[in-house]
Chains A and B, each alone.
Chain A
Amino acid sequence: MTFTVENGFIGKQLPMTRMDLRQTACRVRAKALRAITRAGSGHPGGSLSCADLLVFLYFEWMKPVDEFILSKGHAAPALYAVLAEKGVIKEKELEGLRKPWSRLQGHPNRKTLPLLPVSTGSLGHGLAVGTGIALAKKLDKSPARVFVMLGDGELDEGEVWEALALAGHKNLDNLIAVVDRNNLQLDGRTEEILSLEPLKEKISSFKWAVTECDGHDFESIRRAFSEPHPGRPLCVIARTVKGKGVSFMEGNPAYHGKPLTEEELERALDEIRLC
């Protein structure tokens, strides 16, 4: 199935200036952090690192026919905050994050939120599912593209490389992977736990077009996604900072899966308001 403007998944594409995108991303960060603190659990660090990328995709880049999979499903609060900013879900719903009765489950759940193409949360699935959707779009001669956002820690999963191999082999130029390269995973630095570098070369060797960008600079992000990639899937490796936008969270693996206290939240929101 395809999600169109009518069901509001992508919503209206409003022309946005760079400043609009920045301010939207600030509001997304604030909403995500508030929701996580209220829930008492969640993944703030990785939600903040991908916030700018999500805002770019949802408010500028994706078309209504396109599909998006948040393969790094633990960044769900950032996705939910973007959907709230879009008006696809009500802002008040964010208060229900991680509650049994809420549509906004701890990880994106298609059963409760049918506008998602697929449920995610267990790492490593999204790119293969996206590959399947991209194959179907080709079969149906649809112009739709499939965007899949992966965490860098997630790349430890073997299934990601199975999907990279298949998508490259099948020349799926309608598939775009985005790696939130924040260099941190749950237990510490990616290069210490299971090194990924040279990541660009590795993914290129799987017959992908690969480009890098600063994942917090909208101009740089736009250039990366504009990269022509005829006959090849595109992978955007976005250099990001875990916890971006809150000084005491930035680059701190302690905030991978730990909510902020009320006091920390206030300090964080003060910093975000200034941006």
Chain B
Amino acid sequence: MRLDSARKAYAEELVRIGEEDERVVVLDADLSSSTGTREFGKMFPDRFFNVGVAEQCLVDVAAGLAVSGKTVFASSFAMFLAGRAFEQVRNTVAHDHLNVKLVATHAGITVGEDGSSHQCVEDLALMRAVPGMRVIAPADPEETRQAVRTAHSEEGPFYLRIPRPKVPVIFDSSHEFRLGKVYVVRDGSDLTIASTGMMLYNSLETANALEKEGYSVRVLHVPTLKPVTKTEIVKAASETGTIFTIEDHNVIGGLGSLVTEIVSKHRPCQVHRFGIPDVFGRSGKHDLLLEEFGLSPDRLRNRIKKILEERV
């Protein structure tokens, strides 16, 4: 398993897009060395605006640049972009369907030691509830690069969620990211694991472990939480029954809710939502926290097995 940084992938792709398209401007709120936008700033100082520690202003200044014909990328941590500036995102950027790409880094509990104040586990719920917002949580650096490119090429608002730690590399350049597509990363017939963002790796590990115990596990990767194509989710419900959703997010409002909303209408089945169980996070190394919240491959295998065995 090779680890690489999705933030670095974002930073590099942004510079490439900046070279190709001079309408692109980038904004940050004093976190450019953490989010990666500093690289763009170094290359294109005229098209980079650091507004200081002021996220509400960040989002509305982005809106002003967008109404003037610019394609705007605005970055901060998920907590401050989706959280602090929610009303600016909702009432200006999304309401007027402006060409602003919100790229939020350090999302979820995997931000680690900074603790609960910085661990945004509500952003997918918030952004999913905003009309017209496209919401993407890429799995790894390659998918991040492609998602950034998609956000650039499609008109209107996007929310991209990028984790802090280096993540396992899963895809190579043969991967084709499509907005809204659900990927069957691994086929199986007994049960389905659906995950989003960097949890794909743990899902695959869990599926491999369960396979050794005789379960045939399908793994769905859902990088786009909105809009989403329902087909593969409904098919999984119909062909494998039970679906387990795994996300670095509150179990309320994110992928678990999305899958439940879809199957409850089209093909009702059991959905077990694994994520942050509606509590605030705490400080710790990110892999330790995943263990604590039952989201490491070992813990996931045991939790799933327990449910499956109790059912029999």
Contact = CB atoms under 8 A, between A and B. Distances in A.
Nearest to A159: B56
Determine which residue in B51, B57, B59, B65 has the highest number of CB atoms from chain A within 10 A of its CB, and name it: B57
Interface string B56-96: 11011111111111100000000000000001100110011
A58 to B, nearest CB: 19
A240 interface: no
Interface string A94-117: 000000000000000011000001
A199 interface: no
Contacts of B51: 162, 166
A125 B92 contact: yes
A122 interface: yes
A128 B56 contact: yes
A243 B197 CA distance: 54
A158 B61 CA distance: 15
Contacts of A133: 64-65, 67-68
Nearest to B72: A132
18 contacts: A110-B95, A117-B67, A118-B63, A118-B96, A122-B87, A125-B63, A128-B56, A129-B61, A129-B67, A129-B92, A131-B64, A135-B64, A135-B65, A139-B47, A140-B68, A159-B54, A166-B52, A166-B57
A130 interface: yes
A136 B64 contact: yes
Contact of B60 (A134, A140, A163): A163
A118 B92 contact: yes
Contacts of B91: 119, 121-122, 125
B68 A159 contact: no
Interface residues of B, number: 28
A128 B64 contact: yes
Contacts of B57: 128, 131, 159, 162-163, 166
A200 interface: no
Contacts of B62: 132
Interface of A: 1, 110-111, 117-119, 121-122, 124-125, 128-137, 139-140, 158-159, 162-163, 165-166
Contacts of B66: 132
B258 to A, nearest CB: 26
A136 B64 CA distance: 8
B155 to A, nearest CB: 13
B213 interface: no
Nearest to B64: A132
A131 B61 contact: yes
Interface string B189-231: 0000000000000000000000000000000000000000000
B293 interface: no
B25 interface: yes
A5 to B, nearest CB: 19
B257 to A, nearest CB: 27
B96 A166 contact: no
B183 interface: no
Given A1-B68, A136-B65, A110 B96 contact: yes
Given A1-B67, A111-B95, A166 B61 contact: yes
A110 B92 CA distance: 10
A159 B60 contact: yes
A92 B70 CA distance: 36
A139 B46 contact: yes
Contacts of A132: 60-68
Given A158-B56, A166-B54, A134 B64 contact: yes
Nearest to A169: B52
Nearest to B63: A129
Nearest to B92: A125
Contacts of A137: 68
B46 A130 contact: no
A125 B61 CA distance: 9
A117 B92 CA distance: 11
Interface in B29-64: 46-47, 49, 51-52, 54, 56-57, 59-64
B52 A165 contact: yes
A119 B87 CA distance: 13
B64 A129 contact: yes
A189 B38 CA distance: 45
A237 to B, nearest CB: 21
B92 A136 contact: no
A135 B61 contact: yes
Determine which residue in B51, B56, B64 has the highest number of CB atoms from chain A within 10 A of its CB, and name it: B64
Contact of B25 (A139, A158, A159, A166): A139
A274 B49 CA distance: 52
Interface string B273-312: 0000000000000000000000000000000000000000
A228 B201 CA distance: 61
Contact of B92 (A119, A131, A163, A165): A119
B55 to A, nearest CB: 9
